[in-house]
Amino acid sequence: MGSVRVKVFYHDKCFDGACSAALFTRFYRERIREHTEFEYHGLVHRAGALFNEAEFTGDENAIVDFKYSPSPRITWWFDHHQSAFLTPEDASHFEQEQSNTKFYDPDFRSCTKFIAVTTQQRFGFNPAPAEDMIEWAEIIDGALYDGPQAAVEVTAPATRLTMLIESNQDPQFIPGLIAKLAYEPLERIVNEPAIAAKLPALMERHRRSIEIIRERSACMDGTIFFDVTDYELEGYNKFVPYYLHPHCTYSVGLSKSSFRTKVSVGSNPWTTATHMENLAKICERYGGGGHARVGAISFPPDRFDEARRAAEEIVAELRASYRAHEGRP
């Protein structure tokens, strides 16, 4: 009997997305079917359709750390984003299906941890050998660093791998990395010659991005705004704005890549603000989404004016909220 082909669709250019795919692989091999061939396919948020049904070509297809698809070709699904459903119909499809292989819980900081807990409880999987990876997915996706310095200095193996993942342009790199993440320690992976060789140029790019954002960003009424669409900087470290403006509560950034103009909306994990807006709900109004504390909106690359307008409206809304709740005139 031949091995089964499982195709795993994961949130691309995201440490938690790659770790989710790696942990799912390990779980599936140990608890579902040992002789399995895995194929990995990164998904990105873009304007328009997020899924291409023709790509669901595995004997089984799994989606991790990404929105729900009602396709009958999808066997497994794990997600933790507040904006997990593209439409109310998708949400009701998930609820009515009551599948024992599709799981959702927006209370988890990382999808990796959600997969670890769910598969342990439901299928008897032991996630302990991957504990370091699971813990770092929690820290990175949940912004649980001690402070902005720790988030921006990029010294731990996991933060270096995150930098590699977020700035990656090679379609083969992350699928190859997922296979390693499933079974190898993070420190060993980051010290492999082929991976270590990529780091100096990326560290230089990271240092340059800090200076560019320093020049471009301004903080007013608790909200940072910056536009780096004239640079190839989409994969910048999302904690840089708070490293540069530690007393600010929110940040809104405009960046550009070949396939989208992106509005990133975030909040300072170390803020002392007394009231926080739900950023997922704000982004959903423009066709985006995310979590309560961090979200994004993707526009087609030729609709920059629309993206800029959305960014300016969100900045105005967050600044007004900050003034109203933090006692500013």
Q: Supply the CATH number for residue 230's domain.
A: 3.10.310.30
Is 169 a residue whose pLDDT tops 60? yes
Are 121 and 270 in a shared domain? Answer: no
Are 100 and 166 in a shared domain? Answer: yes
Cα-based distances in Å from 179 to 68, 163, 174, 176, 184:
24, 18, 9, 5, 9
- CA torsion sign for 28, 31, 32, 34 is positive
Tell the residue number behind the tokens 């079974």, with chain if given: 183
Are 183 and 295 in a shared domain? Answer: no
End-to-end C-alpha distance for the chain, whole angstroms: 72
Percent of the chain clearing pLDDT 90 (strictly above)? 90
Are 16 and 143 in a shared domain? Answer: yes
The one-character DSSP state at 130 is: G
Give residue 143's identity as a one-letter amino acid code. Answer: A
Question: Two tokens at 205?
Answer: 């790019």
Backbone dihedral angles phi then psi of residue 128, each to the nearest 5 degrees: -55, -40
CATH number of the domain to which 142 belongs: 3.90.1640
Crossing angle for the helix pair 131-141 and 15-27, nearest 10 degrees?
A: 150
Are 168 and 224 in a shared domain? Answer: no
Query: Which residues are CB-contacts of 146 (< 8 A; sequence separation ≥ 6)?
Result: none
Are 173 and 283 in a shared domain? Answer: no
Cα-based distances in Å from 92 to 66, 70, 97, 232:
17, 10, 8, 39
Is 2 a residue whose pLDDT tops 90? no
Are 92 and 153 in a shared domain? Answer: yes
Classify residue 205: in a domain, yes or no: no
How many domains does one find in the chain?
Answer: 2
Are 228 and 301 in a shared domain? Answer: yes
Burial status of residue 313 (CB atoms within 10 A of its CB: 0-12, 13-18, 19 or more): middle
The string of pLDDT tens digits covering residues 27-80 is 999 999 999 999 999 998 776 667 899 999 999 999 999 999 999 999 999 999
Quick one: which H or E segment has residue 202? Answer: helix 199-216
User: What ranges make up the beta strands (E) of 12-55?
Assistant: 36-43
Q: Give the C-alpha separation, 113 to 136, whole Å.
A: 10
Helix (H, G, I), strand (E, B) or coil at 90: helix
Classify residue 78: in a domain, yes or no: yes
Are 186 and 259 in a shared domain? Answer: no
Classify residue 201: in a domain, yes or no: no
Are 151 and 245 in a shared domain? Answer: no
Are 84 and 44 in a shared domain? Answer: yes
Task: Give the residue numbers spanning the domain of 124.
Answer: 4-194
Helix (H, G, I), strand (E, B) or coil at 288: coil
Last residue of a domain, one of 159, 194, 229: 194
Are 89 and 225 in a shared domain? Answer: no
The string of pLDDT tens digits covering residues 236-295 is 899 999 999 999 999 999 999 888 899 999 999 999 999 999 999 999 999 999 999 999
Q: What is the mean pLDDT of the chain?
A: 94
Q: Give the C-alpha separation, 297 to 47, whole Å.
A: 8
Helix (H, G, I), strand (E, B) or coil at 326: coil
